């Protein structure tokens, strides 16, 4: 599966202390059992001293094949250091799923244009 491929690649490249791969495709306007929309929660020592944008770029690069050539249409990323993750856990902070699709398939009416 795509989810298994994502998990394997992230484990291999980042040696995470915590990893979750959520298939959120069911929240979007795609066929049943699709693997097109994902959220990853990655906690790794490799993120120490890396700004958030670099963490996201690293994950996007690891999953380049899935994102550019494969079926993944959207990827939501939560990338934390172990100390950041520990703080979230201690404060009982929950990671929320991504919002439901709001019509990105073109079904929304076009925005009005003022002239």
Work out the angle between the directed axes of helices 52-62 and 2-14 (0-180°, nearest 10).
120
Residues sharing a CB contact under 8 Å with residue 50, sequence separation 6 or more, in sequence order: 58
Joined together, the tokens standing for residue 31 give 């066929």
Q: What is the reported pLDDT for 111?
A: 37
Q: Phi and psi dihedrals of 56, rounded to 5?
A: -65, -45
pTM score of the predicted model: 0.83
Taking the alpha carbons at both ends of the chain, their separation in whole angstroms is 49
Answer for the pair 33, 71: CB distance below 8 angstroms, yes or no.
no
Question: For the sheet containing 74-80, what is the strand order?
Answer: 18-23, 37-43, 74-80
Q: What is the reported pLDDT for 104?
A: 56
Q: What is the reported pLDDT for 108?
A: 43
Q: What is the reported pLDDT for 102?
A: 66
**Mean pLDDT, consecutive 10-residue segments, the chain of 115 residues?**
95 98 84 84 97 97 92 93 96 87 54 43
DSSP state of 27: G
C-alpha 108/C-alpha 27 separation (Å) is 16
């Amino acid at each position: 599966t795509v989810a298994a491929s994502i998990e394997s690649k992230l484990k291999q490249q980042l040696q995470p202390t915590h990893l979750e791969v959520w298939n959120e495709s069911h929240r979007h306007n795609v066929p049943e059992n699709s693997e097109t929309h994902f959220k990853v929660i990655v906690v790794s020592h490799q993120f120490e001293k890396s700004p958030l944008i670099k963490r996201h770029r690293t994950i996007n690069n690891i999953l380049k094949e899935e994102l550019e050539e494969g079926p993944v249409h959207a990827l939501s990323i939560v990338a934390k250091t172990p100390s950041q993750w520990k703080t979230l856990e201690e404060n009982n902070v929950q990671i929320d799923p991504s919002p439901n699709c709001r019509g990105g398939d073109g079904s929304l009416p076009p925005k009005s244009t003022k002239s």
